[in-house]
Structure 1
Amino acid sequence: MKKKIPVRVAGAFLVAGALVCTASCGYKTPPVSPDTVVPMAIEDLRYTLEDGGIQLNWSYPVETVKGSVIEDISRFDLYKAEIAMDEYCPTCPIPFGAPIELAGGPCLDGEQRRKASYDFGDVRSGYKYFFKVRSRKGWIADSEDSNIVSFVYYRPASSPEGLSGVAGDGEIKLSWQPVTTLSDGSRVVGKVSYQVLRSVGGKDFLPLGEAVDGVSFTDTSVRNGQKYFYTVKSLMEYQGEIVEGSVSEDISVTPVDLTPPVPPGGIRAISVSRGTKIFWERVDSSDLGGYKVYRRPANRDDYTLLATVDPAFASYVDLEGNGSVRYYYAITAIDKATPPNESVKSREATVR
């Protein structure tokens, strides 16, 4: 007698077969980029308005998201969005288009981090633009989005003219002429303000404080003796947005130390075998350059400079006096400025 095979067993084999088929015939999921090669997101995307367009600049990434070193980048993907101002919606998603693929390369130039740039000339007046960039390492590892830069393009205001600077003690005063026209010669269409930019080496100018409405600015965050470079950019309001204009010619100004030290105290004069020795108390000043010793005879009011004394010393011996004449001595302190600032004279001292 033949045995009957239970249907449930056959069903079990059919289900198992279906599971095996499903497991082996499905599509592969996209590969996940290893963190060890994913570049850090670019954080310094910047733009500069130029005649007829803009220039975008950013730095090559030099590390992965895990902190390991990246030697080269395969390419950059630059994204752009362009919106007419009469259609702009501040709360809507930014409609970035397909990326512009730009060649990468080594991340370092010697020991310096490389800079990437892209010139974009196809800008239209009355439009708002947005840009962001990603870096890619190989075909599977692209970074997160960079910071987004945006601006409204309109015929820009002319550059400020007549920029000048006056050096002071710990400050530089700047002034320029007001801007009343656009780059094409027509009148400005909105309120104009001004952004002062500063550089120490004459390159990479950075904004200094907030924009100002007037035509002057005083920079008090300077160090005496250091040369600073300045330029001023015009800004114009247009439909609630700020349109960046042209920049002025740059100038350089060096603030000067005009503050003298305090005069020395405790002046004394005594007779010694070789002449007259003058003592004084040291001046406590970080930029003390030394002391000057003055002498006058009792019957005259004008002084003669005897010597300049090193700041490490606080005494001087006068070997040239006439023993029959009473002399009065006074001391001043000088600093390290060029030329040095000199204090007022100390009180007088004479041999009693």
Structure 2
Amino acid sequence: MNGCGSSHPSIFPVFVLLALLVLGGCGYKNAPVPPRNVLPVAVHDLRADLDEKGATLSWTFPKKTMIGDSVEEISEFQLYRAEEPVDGYCPTCPVPYAAWMTVPGGLLASDEDRTATCEVRGLRPGYLYFFKVRSKAGLWIESQDSNEVSFFWQTPPAAPAGVSVASGDGRNTVQWQPVGTGATGAEAGVLRYQVYRAVGAAAAAKVGEPVAAPPYTDTAVENGQVYTYQVQAIATYPRGSVYSGLSATVEARPLDQTAPTAPVRVEGLRTDVGVKVFWDHAAGKDLAGYRVYRRTAGEGKATLVGEVELPYNMFIDAKAPGTTLFYSVSSIDTRTPPNESNRSAEIRIDN
């Protein structure tokens, strides 16, 4: 099945043609219009986008005639197609084009961009396909040929299955099950995989270059942001590439798992209001503050006794017991719950 149309299809104004025939029968004649005055310029942007079902041809309506006037209407487009088996293809021979399909045209305002599309289905594996298009502004008014597009068609590979993603700190790693090319015979093709990524509610787009095998690690991510991933298989042959459908979607949100550095140059002394502990600020772009730990000489494990927010780098332990004490300090970041650094080397405060 093939489906063709335009962004705003319209019906050819048959009543106008009938009126002209009636007037012509009465002997009334308009002055002849030179063909170049109404002949549209050739389509220049014919393209073919391939998917696992076939190809979609698209092009924009020409907006100017050959002498630069605005085109008011395209009555229709004529698509030409040729297909050649790869084994018998002659690159120096003329392409054996034949008229293939008519695509509706329509009225065109001078400030309007219109697009015509045509879905090409039922393609034969192992064949090369060629397409060109001409636009018509009347029964015998047909433009020159458009640019030519061509592609190779083979049985597409299956969409990758078993897709999963593991989040890390500033990275998402996508895994999937390898697939076959979908082709048989001596020419099996070279398989690659293209990863697609969507950020939040945006549409998915290619990320990175195709890879030969899983996994794919995406490091261009922001911690805390939601990402979704899909994978497409691409089988490449000497004459071109064919594409699978997109895999199922998986979602990931990388999280910050890196703590700031531990504080250094920790010092302390007893004062009238308690033990004062102070230190040099730690490094870390998301540094939020510090935690202070204390233990007595007879304890094997230190206890958290206070937390200090930036910009402060000092803590007064007003409840310090009157015995030999050991203090250490760690750094924490802005994540909830925060990442915490290792503790600093302990300092000793005598009674």
Instruction: Classify the TM-score, shorter chain.
Output: 0.5 to 0.7
What's the CA shift for 1:153?
Answer: 2.2
What pairs with 1:163-182 in structure 2 (closer than 5 Å)?
Answer: 163-180=163-180, 182=182
* Pick aligned residue for 1:47 from 44, 49, 52: 49
Structure-2 separation of matches of 1:174 and 1:293:
40
* Pick aligned residue for 1:30 from 28, 36, 41: 36
Q: Judging changes above 3 Å, is the alpha-carbon distance between structure 1 residues 84 and 338 closer, same or farther for their aligned structure 2 residues?
A: farther
How many aligned positions are there? Answer: 300
Residue 230 of structure 2 contacts residue 250 of structure 2 at CA under 8 Å; is this kept in 1?
A: yes
Residue 289 of structure 2 contacts residue 309 of structure 2 at CA under 8 Å; is this kept in 1?
A: yes
Q: Which residue of 1 aligns with 2:159?
A: 159
* Pick aligned residue for 2:103 from 100, 105, 126: 100
What's the CA shift for 1:194?
Answer: 2.6
Q: Which amino acid aligns with 1:281?
A: D
Alignment deviations for residues 217-271 of structure 1 (CA, whole Å, 9 cap, x no partner): 2333333333322222122244543222233212122233222211111212222
What pairs with 1:59-208 in structure 2 (closer than 5 Å)?
Answer: 81-86=81-86, 88=89, 100-101=103-104, 119-129=119-129, 151-180=151-180, 182=182, 190-201=188-199, 204-208=203-207
What pairs with 1:319-338 in structure 2 (closer than 5 Å)?
Answer: 319-322=318-321, 324-338=322-336
SS at match of 1:30: helix
Bigger mean CA deviation after superposition, 203-212 or 337-346: 203-212
Q: Which amino acid aligns with 1:315?
A: M
| RMSD (Å) for aligned C-alpha atoms | 4.7
TM-score, normalization: structure 1? 0.65
SS at match of 1:280: strand
Residue 222 of structure 1 contacts residue 255 of structure 1 at CA under 8 Å; is this kept in 2?
A: yes
Structure-2 separation of matches of 1:115 and 1:167:
41
Structure-2 separation of matches of 1:338 and 1:90:
64
Q: Which residue of 2 aligns with 1:346?
A: 344
Residue 223 of structure 1 contacts residue 255 of structure 1 at CA under 8 Å; is this kept in 2?
A: yes
Alignment deviations for residues 283-328 of structure 1 (CA, whole Å, 9 cap, x no partner): 2321112211111112212111123322222112212222x22222
Residue 181 of structure 2 contacts residue 189 of structure 2 at CA under 8 Å; is this kept in 1?
A: no
What's the CA shift for 1:74?
Answer: 8.9
Q: Judging changes above 3 Å, is the alpha-carbon distance between structure 1 residues 116 and 242 closer, same or farther for their aligned structure 2 residues?
A: same
Alignment deviations for residues 113-144 of structure 1 (CA, whole Å, 9 cap, x no partner): 99986544353433334678999xxxxxx9xx
SS at match of 1:162: strand
| Residue ranges of structure 2 left out of the alignment (5+ in a row) | 1-30, 65-72, 136-142
Structure-2 separation of matches of 1:82 and 1:214:
35
Q: Which amino acid aligns with 2:171?
A: E
Residue 47 of structure 1 contacts residue 149 of structure 1 at CA under 8 Å; is this kept in 2?
A: no
Q: Which residue of 2 aligns with 1:68?
A: none
Q: Which residue of 2 aligns with 1:210?
A: 209
| Residue ranges of structure 1 left out of the alignment (5+ in a row) | 1-24, 65-72, 136-141
TM-score, normalization: structure 2? 0.65
Q: Which amino acid aligns with 2:156?
A: P
Q: Judging changes above 3 Å, is the alpha-carbon distance between structure 1 residues 49 and 312 closer, same or farther for their aligned structure 2 residues?
A: same
Residue 288 of structure 2 contacts residue 309 of structure 2 at CA under 8 Å; is this kept in 1?
A: yes
Write 1 or 2 for the structure with the bigger share of strand: 2
Structure-1 separation of matches of 2:225 and 2:93:
47
Q: Which residue of 2 aligns with 1:274?
A: 273
Structure-1 separation of matches of 2:106 and 2:297:
84
Q: Which amino acid aligns with 1:47?
A: D
SS at match of 1:176: strand
Q: Which residue of 1 aligns with 2:222?
A: 223
Structure-2 separation of matches of 1:132 and 1:204:
31
Structure-2 separation of matches of 1:79 and 1:351:
90
Residue 48 of structure 1 contacts residue 54 of structure 1 at CA under 8 Å; is this kept in 2?
A: yes
What's the CA shift for 1:190?
Answer: 0.8
Residue 50 of structure 2 contacts residue 242 of structure 2 at CA under 8 Å; is this kept in 1?
A: no
SS at match of 2:264: coil
Alignment deviations for residues 75-122 of structure 1 (CA, whole Å, 9 cap, x no partner): 99796654324354557787696873466999x9xxxx9998654435
What's the CA shift for 1:50?
Answer: 4.1
Q: Which residue of 1 aligns with 2:70?
A: none
SS at match of 1:313: coil
Q: Which residue of 1 aligns with 2:311?
A: 312
Residue 259 of structure 2 contacts residue 332 of structure 2 at CA under 8 Å; is this kept in 1?
A: yes
Structure-1 separation of matches of 2:93 and 2:323:
93
Q: Which amino acid aligns with 1:331?
A: V
Q: Which amino acid aligns with 2:36?
A: P
